[in-house]
Chains A and B, each alone.
Chain A
């Protein structure tokens, strides 16, 4: 069945290391979101792509975070260098924006721990 796939599910890394999270959106969806979830802040939008073009990445710390969609089947979120405050669960979601009430389907998330 169609689902958003995120890898890895869990990542523990040392401060200063590069982290790359990957997302495979549902086939045919043209909108991809990256969210970060923490206990304190809840779900925060980091970046938003439509038809592979970045539409809004205002929620993302530009100095260390970058998001790309090299093709329609892969979205990546990279943190370089990582810091302990980046520890969170990172969710990718995809949808079809042409549908007025389109639902954003979420992946299982990548739980990142930076020590």
Chain B
């Protein structure tokens, strides 16, 4: 069964500090992995997409990494801002028929001043 596990479930960081979120998956065959940011009361919004051949991709202060061999991804937030407070969801697509998405449970990040 395809699964996506995220850790930690939640974390609190001080404004200006860095943090790293983890995502481990068992989805196969792998197509791509996205990190979504979901603000409270809003729908998820895509931050980055990683395909099999990509190791690192940045979007502003967000940097995602992918190790397709170990089936792990991370999302690093640099110099956190209050607006980074949100849930971050790792989503993996398989390349089989249907191209299903498997969602992780998310990491809830709270940035404190």
Contacts and interface: CB of A to CB of B under 8 A. Distances in A.
Interface of A: 4, 33, 42-45, 48, 55-56, 91, 93, 97, 100-101, 103-104, 106-109, 111
A43 B49 contact: no
B104 A45 contact: no
A45 B51 contact: no
Contacts of B103: 42-45
A33 B100 CA distance: 10
Contacts of A111: 41
Contacts of B34: 103
Interface of B: 31-32, 34, 41-46, 49, 51, 89, 98-101, 103-106
Given A93-B43, A106-B44, A101 B51 contact: yes
Nearest to B6: A42
Contacts of B43: 4, 91, 93, 106-109
A33 to B, nearest CB: 8
B45 A106 contact: yes
A97 B34 CA distance: 15
Nearest to A102: B99
Nearest to B87: A42
Nearest to A55: B98
Given A43-B89, A91-B43, A109-B42, A104 B100 contact: no
A104 B101 contact: yes
Nearest to A93: B43
Pairs of residues from A and B, 8 with the lowest C-beta to C-beta distance, nearest first: A106-B43, A43-B103, A42-B105, A103-B46, A106-B44, A101-B32, A108-B43, A107-B43
A97 B99 contact: yes
